[in-house]
Structure 1
Amino acid sequence: MRLKLLTVAACALAVSACASMDAGGGGAAPAFDAQRVSDDVKALSDDSFEGRGIATPAEDKVVDYLSRAFADAGFQPGGENGGWTQAVTLNRFTVSNARAQFEAGGEAIPVAQGEQIVISTRLPAARQNLADLPLVFVGYGTTAPERQWDDFKDVDVRGKVIVVLVNDADYEQPELNTFNGRAMTYYGRWTYKYDEAARRGAAGVLVVHETAPASYGWATVRNSWTTPQFDIVRQNAAAERVPLEGWIQRDVAVDLFRRAGLDFEAQKVAARSRDFRPVDLSGVTIDAAYDVSSTTVTTRNIIARLPGTTHPDETILYTGHWDHIGMGEPDAEGDRIFNGAVDNASGIAGLLELARVWGAGPRPERSIVMIAFTAEESGLLGSEFYAANPLYPLETTVAGFNLDAMNVYGRLSGLGVTGHGQSADMDGRLAAAAAAQGRVIVPDTNNAAGTYFRSDHFPLAKRGVPMAYPKGSGDFLDEPIADRVAARDEYGARRYHQAQDGWLPVMDFRGAVQDLEAVYAVGRDLAFSRDWPQWSPTSEFGPVRDRSAAARR
C-alpha cells in the first residue's frame, strides 16, 4: 500500500545538508546527505532482507552490508577478535498449536490465539499443559518499596495466573503523581510485570490490552508476540520466567470480571490506590496447552570503531538496532515481510551516515564507537548483552546517542529529548546544538508510553552511562504540513510493527539529517574535550555512575 500524502519534490532528497555548528575539532562539519540516508533505508528494508529477523539468513546480509559500509566510511572493526561483531547467545522460543479457554460457571469460553488472546513463553519446555489454573487480579502488578506500593500485599499467587493492567497506576489519574503522573515508569512496562510475576512464583501473566495506556493497538501485540520470542540464556530460567506470558483483549477481561461478579472499571479505579488488595476472579479458571520449540541461537551485535588520537580508551557511543520482526503471518494484503523501514532501518542508516561524516572529518581525540544492536524487538537483548559484557569499559564511556525510528517526514522546529531531565548536562548540550540550527528542545511528548524504557539506550543508562535519545519534534517547517502530520500519525496507527512499514518514495529525510547534525555536534564537542557529562541529581542512574568516578580522569 502506498501513502498518498507528501508532495516533496524528489530533488529535495538529493540536496546535501551541511552542519553549520563548529566544534573543538575546528571547521564546519562535512556534509550530511539526505539521499544517502534514504538509499540505506531503502536497501535495508528491501524484501530481500526478509524483515531483518535475528538468527536467520537475513542476519548475514545485514552484517555484510553494515561492515562494508562502516569500512568504506573509514571505521575499523570494533567487535570481538578483531572482527565486526559481538556474539550474543540467546534462547529462541516458538509457540505452536496454542489452544486456550476460560471456564466460568461450568461454561467453556474458547479464545483464539492472536485474536482474543496471545500466548507466549520464554521458559524452556517441549510442551506446556496448564489446566484449571485460577485467575487473580493484582492491579498493575507492581512492587515499589521506595513508593510505599505493593499490589500483591500478602497474597500468595504461586501456581496462579495473574491478571494485570498495562502501564502505571497514575495513567488514568495523573494527579495522583505516585508514579510520575502520565510519565510511565519502568513498573509500567510488560517486561517488569513478567519479571515480577516470576519472582512471585506465578504460573502465568495476562496483561489486559487497552490501546491508550499501551500506546499501540492489538495488531502490534499480535504481530510482536506470535512470532518467535528470544531471551538471554539463563542459568535458573525456572525462577526467572513463567510458563505463560500473555495478553488478552479488554472486552475479554470485562467479560471474565463480570462472570466473577466484578466490575472491571470499578476494579481499575481501586487499583490506583496503595490500599488495593488482589482480587480473586472467583469461579474463573484458564486451560491452555501449547507446544514450545526451544533452541539456542547466536546472533550478533555489529560494532565499528574510529580510534581516538590521544584518549583512545575513552568512548563516545552511537547506537541503534538493526533487527526487526522478520516474517510472520500474511496481513490483509498478503504481505508477510515486516520490512521495518522506519523501525529501525532509519536509525541504522543514520549510524552509517554519521560514520561517513566522522570518517571524513578530523580524527577525534576520543574513540567513536558505532553499535548496531541485535534483538531489540525481543526485549532490548542485544544492548542488554553488550551492557553486561561491554567490549569498551562503561566506566570510561563518555556518553552515547541512540537512534531509533528517526523522523522521515521532513524538517521540524524542535529536537525532542526522550527522558528529558535525566541528564540536565546532556539536555543542555543538545539544546545548544539545536539552537545553532534555529531549533528548540522539546521534552518528551509521549512519556505516558514509557518510551524511555523501550529502546537500546536503557540497558546502558541503568548501568550509569549518560545516554541521550533524541529525535525530531515540534512543528513541520515545510509545506504541505497537514500531509506530513497525517503521514506521521498514520505510521503510528497502521504501520508500526506491521508489514506496511516499508520505504516510500515520499519519505523526506531532511528531518533525520537535522537530528544527525545535532548528535554529531554534541559528540564532536565531547570528542575534543575532557568533559564527562553527568546525570541530574534526581536521576536514579546517577548513583550507579558515581561508583566508578575514580576511573574517569
Structure 2
Amino acid sequence: MNISIAKWGIFLVIPLIVACSSRDQQVLLAEKSICAETLAEHVKVLASDEFQGRKPFTEGERKAIEYLAKEFEKIGLKAPYNGSYLQEVPMVGMTYYPSPTITLDLPKGALTLYNGKDYLAKTPHITDRVEIHEAEVVFAGFGIVAPEYGWDDFADIDVRDKVVLVLVNDPGFATQDPSLFNGKAMTYYGRWPYKYEEAARHGAKGVLVIHDTAAAGYPWESLSNTSGTNLYLLTENNNMDQCALTGWITEEACQKMFEYNGLDFAQAKKKALDPSFKAFSLNTHMSLTIRNDLKQDITHNVVGIIEGKSRKDECIVYSAHWDHFGIGVPENGDSIYNGAADNALAVACMLETAKAFAKAPQPERTVVFLAPTAEETGMQGSLYYALNPLFPPNKTVANLNYELPLPMGRMRDVTITGFGQSQLDAYAERFAKEQDRYIAPEPFPENGMYYRSDHFSFAKVGIPSLFIKGWQDSREHGKEWAKAKVALYWETAYHKPADEFDEQTADLSGNVEDAQLFFRIGWQLANESSFPSWNNQSEFKHIREASLQGKASQD
C-alpha cells in the first residue's frame, strides 16, 4: 500500500519537475533573445536626423510615437487605452522672450545683466505676458526649509512679492560633511524644482538659482543651449500658485551684484552653510518682462502591457523616455539634438526587455512598459502617468527606469543611482552576481541624478524605483578608461547635437547585459507576492507606508 502511494507520488512529482524545468528554460531563452543587433536597429531609427531630435509637439514626436506603437504591436503588448498605446498628455508649450537685459540700481552704481550670458528667465504661469516690476531682491542661502535638520533659510524674513536668489545643491555637498543632510550626495532639497516650490510656498514673486558647475552637475551651456522653451502640464489655475519668475543666474553675475552692494559673495556663501544663517536684502529692485508664445496641445506617453495571470491587478512598470530637445542651437554646423544615448538607446533596451517578457511564460503580475514624453522638461510625461496611472500606486510594486546608457562595452559594475534608497538594491545585487558583476554606488551622488529622471515621478508617489546601469568598470579596459569615457560624454555630447549613434564605434554588449539584468529583476518582481519597501532613511518611505495602509484597508 505504502509502496503504491510512493509510486503515485513519484508520478505526480515528475510532471511538476518537468514543468518547472521547462518554465525556467523558457525564461532563459527569453532573456537570451535580447541582442545587440536589434538594439542597434532601434537606435539607428530613433536617433536618426529623420526623427528631428524627438521633441514633443513636433514631427519628431509623431515619428517617434508611431514607431514605438508599431514595435509594441509587433512584440505583442496589449494596448491599454481603448485599443491604443497612446496616453494623451495635455500640455502647454511655451516659448519665452524675456527682457534682453536687467539693470539693477545698486549703492555702488548701475549693473546691467544680459539674458543668456548672465541669467536665464522663464515663467511657469500659463499666460502670454508676465511683468516683474521693481521687486526687491533677497539672498536666501540655499532656499531650504528642512525641519528634520533644524534648517530654515526663510526664517525671520518676508519674501512675499520679492525675487529670491538661492544657491544650488544643499549644505551637505557644500561642506562635504556626511552628518549634514546626506553629505556629498544631493538630497531633493538641493534640486532646483524643490527651490522653486519652496520659494512659491513663501509667496516669492520670483526665484533664480545661482549656478555652479560642480554643485549643479552640469555646465551653464547645458542650460543656455536648451533654454527658451518649456512644457507644462495643464492645470486648472494655470500654475498661478507658482512663482511668476523662475530661472538661473551665474555666480559671476551674483559676485558683481554683491560687489556693487559692498558685500562679499564668498563670505555670504560661507555663512549660508550654518543653520543660523539669516536671509537678507541686496538693496536693489529688479524689473523684467517675459513675453510668451503659448501652444496648447496633446503630447503622448506610449504604453503597452503584458497582463498578469494570478495577480493581474498588481504591476511593475518599466520606463524609458522617448523625447529629446529637437532642433536647437547649432554646434559645429549641426542643430539636431539626436539624443542617441539620451535616450534612444534606453528605449531600445526597454523594447528588448518587453520582447523578452513576450517570449517568456505569462507572469503572475502585470508588466507595464512606459515610454514617457517630456522628460527633458521636468519629467512631465512620467508625472502625468504617475498621477493618472493604469494601476494605483498601492498596486504598483516597483518602477525600473532605463536612462542614459552608454555603448561602451561589458562592465563589471552595476551602478545604482540612489544607492541605499530601497530594497530593490538587493534584487540588483542578486542578479548582478549571476552575471559575475558587483554593485557600486553612483560616483557623483552630488549631481542628484536620482531626482533627475522619470523614476523620480514614481518615487514621489511612494513607488520604489530603481535606476541602474554599467558605468564605472570596463571588463576590457578598467575603471580609469570608463571614467574617461563618461567624462568625455558629459563634456562633448550631453544635451548637445554630438549625442549621435556611431555604429562603427558603439559596443552594445554591455547594454545587452544591462537589459538582461533588468529583465531578470523584473521577472522576479512580477512573479512573487511581496512588495519591496523603501529603506528607513529614504524620504519616500512614509508615502509608501500610507499608500499600502490604504491598500490593506481596501482589502
Specify every segment of 5 or more residues in structure 1 that has no aligned partner in the other structure, as ranges.
1-21
Q: Which residue of 151, 157, 160 corresponds with 1:158?
A: 160
Q: Tell me what 1:120 maps to.
A: 122
**Is the alpha carbon distance of 1:448 and 1:90 closer, same or farther for their aligned partners in structure 2, counting shifts above 3 Å?**
same
Q: Tell me what 1:259 maps to.
A: 260
TM-score (norm 1): 0.91
Q: Deviations over 1:514-535 (max 9, x none)?
A: 2111111111122222232222
Cα contact 1:23–1:524 (8 A) shared by 2: no
**1:473 CA displacement:** 3.0
Residue 305 in 1 paired to residue 323 in 2? no
Q: Tell me what 1:191 maps to.
A: 193
Query: 1:488-507 residue pairs with structure 2 within 5 A?
Result: 488-505=486-503, 506-507=505-506
Q: Deviations over 1:250-278 (max 9, x none)?
A: 11111111111111111111001110001
Cα contact 2:54–2:326 (8 A) shared by 1: yes
Cα contact 1:23–1:525 (8 A) shared by 2: no
Cα contact 1:410–1:484 (8 A) shared by 2: no
Structure-2 separation of matches of 1:26 and 1:204: 54
Structure-2 separation of matches of 1:341 and 1:130: 39
Residue 343 in 1 paired to residue 342 in 2? yes
Q: Tell me what 1:13 maps to.
A: none
**Is the alpha carbon distance of 1:26 and 1:217 closer, same or farther for their aligned partners in structure 2, counting shifts above 3 Å?**
closer
Q: Tell me what 1:84 maps to.
A: 85
Cα contact 1:201–1:239 (8 A) shared by 2: no
Cα contact 2:125–2:240 (8 A) shared by 1: no
**Is the alpha carbon distance of 1:23 and 1:218 closer, same or farther for their aligned partners in structure 2, counting shifts above 3 Å?**
farther
**1:546 CA displacement:** 2.3
Structure-1 separation of matches of 2:239 and 2:394: 33
Q: Tell me what 1:546 maps to.
A: 545
Q: Which amino acid aligns with 1:45?
A: A
User: How many correspondences in the alignment?
Assistant: 527
**1:49 CA displacement:** 1.0
**Is the alpha carbon distance of 1:38 and 1:98 closer, same or farther for their aligned partners in structure 2, counting shifts above 3 Å?**
farther
**1:315 CA displacement:** 0.9
Q: Which amino acid aligns with 2:326?
A: G
Cα contact 1:457–1:468 (8 A) shared by 2: yes
Q: Tell me what 1:9 maps to.
A: none
Structure-1 separation of matches of 2:43 and 2:184: 33
Secondary structure of 1:269's match?
helix
TM-score (norm 2): 0.91
**Is the alpha carbon distance of 1:24 and 1:421 closer, same or farther for their aligned partners in structure 2, counting shifts above 3 Å?**
farther
Q: CA RMSD in A?
A: 2.0
Secondary structure of 1:352's match?
helix
Query: 1:101-112 residue pairs with structure 2 within 5 A?
Result: 101-103=102-104, 104-105=106-107, 107-112=109-114
Q: Deviations over 1:40-61 (max 9, x none)?
A: 1121111111111111121111
Deviates more, 1:489-498 or 1:175-184: 175-184
**1:337 CA displacement:** 1.4
Q: Tell me what 2:420 maps to.
A: 421
Secondary structure of 1:329's match?
strand
Larger radius of gyration: 2
Structure-1 separation of matches of 2:465 and 2:196: 26
Secondary structure of 1:280's match?
strand
**1:504 CA displacement:** 1.8
Q: Tell me what 2:101 maps to.
A: 100
Q: Which residue of 431, 434, 445 corresponds with 1:433?
A: 431
Q: Tell me what 1:5 maps to.
A: none
Q: Deviations over 1:2-21 (max 9, x none)?
A: xxxxxxxxxxxxxxxxxxxx
**1:434 CA displacement:** 0.4
**Is the alpha carbon distance of 1:482 and 1:450 closer, same or farther for their aligned partners in structure 2, counting shifts above 3 Å?**
closer
Q: Which amino acid aligns with 1:147?
A: Y
Q: Which amino acid aligns with 1:436?
A: E
Deviates more, 1:508-517 or 1:96-105: 96-105
**1:345 CA displacement:** 0.9
Q: Which amino acid aligns with 2:383?
A: E
Query: 1:8-27 residue pairs with structure 2 within 5 A?
Result: 27=28
Task: Report 1 or 2 for greater relative contact order, CA contacts < 8 Å, sequence distance ≥ 6.
Answer: 1
**Is the alpha carbon distance of 1:545 and 1:485 closer, same or farther for their aligned partners in structure 2, counting shifts above 3 Å?**
closer
**Is the alpha carbon distance of 1:43 and 1:310 closer, same or farther for their aligned partners in structure 2, counting shifts above 3 Å?**
same
Q: Deviations over 1:393-418 (max 9, x none)?
A: 22111222000101321111110111
Q: Which residue of 117, 128, 131 corresponds with 2:133?
A: 131
Structure-1 separation of matches of 2:392 and 2:239: 31
Deviates more, 1:109-118 or 1:293-302: 109-118
**Is the alpha carbon distance of 1:410 and 1:105 closer, same or farther for their aligned partners in structure 2, counting shifts above 3 Å?**
same
Structure-2 separation of matches of 1:27 and 1:167: 44
Secondary structure of 1:330's match?
strand
Cα contact 2:472–2:483 (8 A) shared by 1: no
Query: 1:3-402 residue pairs with structure 2 within 5 A?
Result: 27-28=28-29, 29-78=31-80, 80-96=81-97, 98-103=99-104, 104-105=106-107, 107-175=109-177, 177-226=179-228, 228-237=229-238, 239-282=240-283, 284-331=284-331, 333-402=332-401
Q: Deviations over 1:59-78 (max 9, x none)?
A: 11111100111111121213
**1:154 CA displacement:** 2.1
Structure-2 separation of matches of 1:180 and 1:60: 42
Q: Deviations over 1:306-364 (max 9, x none)?
A: 11222222212110111111122223x12221111111111111111111111122222
Structure-1 separation of matches of 2:382 and 2:458: 7
Structure-2 separation of matches of 1:435 and 1:148: 41
